[in-house]
Amino acid sequence: MTTLFTGRIRPLSAAAPALVEAMLVDDDDDGRVVAVGAAADLAAQDPAAERVALDGWAMPGLIEPHGHPGTAAVLLSDRVLDLRPVVVPDADGVMAALRAALAAADGAPVYANGWDALLQRGLPDPGLRLLDELAGSTPLVIVHNSGHSAYFNTAAARLAGLDRSTPDPVGASFGRTADGELNGVALEAGAVERVAAPLLQAAQADIVELLGAHFADVSRRGITTVADLSWNPALSPAVDALRAAGRMPLRLRWYEMSRPGGTPAPHPGRRGGNEESRLEDAVMRQVGVKTWTDGSPWIGNIATSFPYLDTAATRDLGLAPGHRGASNYTAEQLHAIAEPSAAAGWQLACHAHGDLAVDETLDVYERLIRDHGLVDHRFRLEHVGAMTPAQFARAAALGVTVSLFVDHITYWGEVLVDDLFGPEHGGAWADAGAAFAAGHRATFHNDGWVTPAEPLRNMAVAETRRTRSGRVMPGGTPVTRPQALAAHTGNAAWQLFSEHEIGSLDPGLFADMVVLDRDPLTVSAEELASAEVREVRLGGRRVT
């Protein structure tokens, strides 16, 4: 069977015109595109095709190249109090929401997500003393909006099996008092995981429903493929259950988390772009391995050559004048973590925000590429807030690709310039234009639950470099509309080694598409950001 889709279709393909009237899809080949072109020509090619008129402007389905749906499914569920600044904008609202949740908990553990002292000005120090006073014997854990730290009370430490004898995970740490007791702060993934373990374990009983609800929400935003950069393979059976029930509205590409001394999964030995690639699971498969060089700008632990400013905001964060963050690992430690994955043939994806962290990661990558004779490795740098034009050029020369967290500009633009780094360094944050100028097939992302999944707004802010309040960043380079669209379509597909199946509406690729209420190529950036998603199709089949 075939389906003839008609309407206003932008394939975003080098091989097709900018706008076509129709697309023919083979339903018996998992919904792959047969041809695009004039409606009359395609109707004549297959007169028996079922006809579907698309109401709006169709384009390739959007791709989130750096998400965390496995964790977001829990943190954004009703099991967790949502304190993110996009939901609770001020400190008074945060504290009121916490008190209300604790009062209703009746002693059951309370988990909250989204604490952000930079956007919710006036929040108190979230140390052990405050949380013990607030919650008493009720376990209370608050995850910072960045996901790079968490705060907990004595009862929560007891529930998670943590005490003064608990060792710091490699690349992470627990804050401690002068006499060695826990002070209620967990820094970086290894420590945050330990504090949140009871929540994540309890959620497993309902993980199929939690994942299903989260995937459905992501799909409604026009996303047809999402990458999970910290996937827990124990969740894979839940995805299998959703697929068996016909409830998987998107494709999943996942990265396992690296562990010091760990051994990666065996590599299947295939890459896209050939007939053998059709043996791959087109819905779900591992792409690479993820690691972290530094942390979050919002808590003071990114590795930069320049200091944080001395402002009221940085003092509230507990940062001393002249403070500089540090990497989670030395270059030798990072190399030791990444080397087994590179040797096994996996793509590497490394979190690196500060310019020193970027240099350290590129040094490690260059060594791995040379030692293993790697060519089409597509090693990734994630977020790259303070990455410079020279570093973008160096990365491109190494074949390293970048994914930028441009939505930082939307929510934290003023903070970056006025409170943390000044106009020179903060103003050029997430310089997507410099990435494209260096020759990158750059991508944009929202990093799971940190900011809402809003790829259309990512495209707009990369063009305008404008914050929510209307301020234009004093540095950095805007991108063009074709570059912005490519960041969440063709470039993202390529970055995920999936360009042989998704990313454009070319013949032979899946008919994954989103239908918008306006033309994504010609409307203003502001109109693009507010475009309505009318329907989403995966392999031609409507899922939203």
> Tell me: the pLDDT tens digits for 499-516?
999 999 999 999 999 999
- CATH code, residues 1-59+506-544: 2.30.40.10
**Model's pTM, two decimal places?**
0.95
- The percent of residues in the chain predicted with pLDDT above 90, rounded, is 94
Task: Report the distance separating Cα 312 and Cα 40, nearest Å.
Answer: 66
Task: Report the distance separating Cα 362 and Cα 338, nearest Å.
Answer: 12
Domains 1-59+506-544 and 70-202 share a fold: no
pLDDT tier, 269 (very low <50, low <70, confident <90, very high otherwise): confident
Cα angle: 212, vertex 410, 423; to 5 degrees: 145
Residue 259 pLDDT > 90, yes or no? Answer: no
Mean per-residue pLDDT of the chain: 96
Task: Report the distance separating Cα 344 and Cα 500, nearest Å.
Answer: 22
Please tell me the number of Cα atoms within 13 Å of 111 on its side-chain side.
22
Burial class (CB in 10 A: 0-12, 13-18, 19+), 497: buried
Residue 279 pLDDT > 80, yes or no? Answer: no
pLDDT number for residue 273: 47
Residue 37 pLDDT > 60, yes or no? Answer: yes
pLDDT number for residue 275: 47
pLDDT number for residue 18: 86
pLDDT tier, 260 (very low <50, low <70, confident <90, very high otherwise): confident
Residue 276 pLDDT > 60, yes or no? Answer: no
Task: Report the distance separating Cα 360 and Cα 380, nearest Å.
Answer: 13
Task: Report the distance separating Cα 532 and Cα 57, nearest Å.
Answer: 10
Q: What is the pLDDT of residues 426-439, one digit of tens each?
A: 999 999 999 999 99
Over residues 78-101, the mean pLDDT reads 97
pLDDT number for residue 478: 98
pLDDT tier, 145 (very low <50, low <70, confident <90, very high otherwise): very high
Residue 15 pLDDT > 80, yes or no? Answer: no
Q: Helices 331-344 and 355-372: crossing angle, nearest 10°?
A: 40
Report yes or no: 348 and 365 within 8 Å, Cβ to Cβ.
yes
138-to-126, 134, 151, 366, 451 alpha-carbon distances in Å: 16, 9, 14, 49, 29
Contacts of 190 (CB under 8 A, 6+ apart): 169, 170, 171, 172
Q: What is the pLDDT of residues 353-388, one digit of tens each?
A: 999 999 999 999 999 999 999 999 999 999 999 999
Q: List strand residue ranges (DSSP E) for 242-310, in order.
A: 251-257, 284-292
Residue 16 pLDDT > 90, yes or no? Answer: no
Give SS3 for 255: strand
**For residue 285, what are its two tokens?**
């498969």
Task: Report the distance separating Cα 498 and Cα 493, nearest Å.
Answer: 5
Q: What is the pLDDT of residues 107-131, one digit of tens each?
A: 999 999 999 999 999 999 998 999 9
Within 10 A of 38 (CB to CB), how many other CB atoms are there? 12
* CATH for the 70-202 domain, from 3.40.50.1000, 3.10.310.70, 3.40.630.30, 3.40.50.12500: 3.10.310.70
- Domain segments of the chain as ranges: 1-59+506-544, 70-202
pLDDT number for residue 335: 97
pLDDT number for residue 270: 56
User: What are residue 387's phi and psi, to 5 degrees?
Assistant: -65, 140
- The percent of residues in the chain predicted with pLDDT above 70, rounded, is 98
Q: Residue 227's Cα: distance from chain center in Å? A: 7
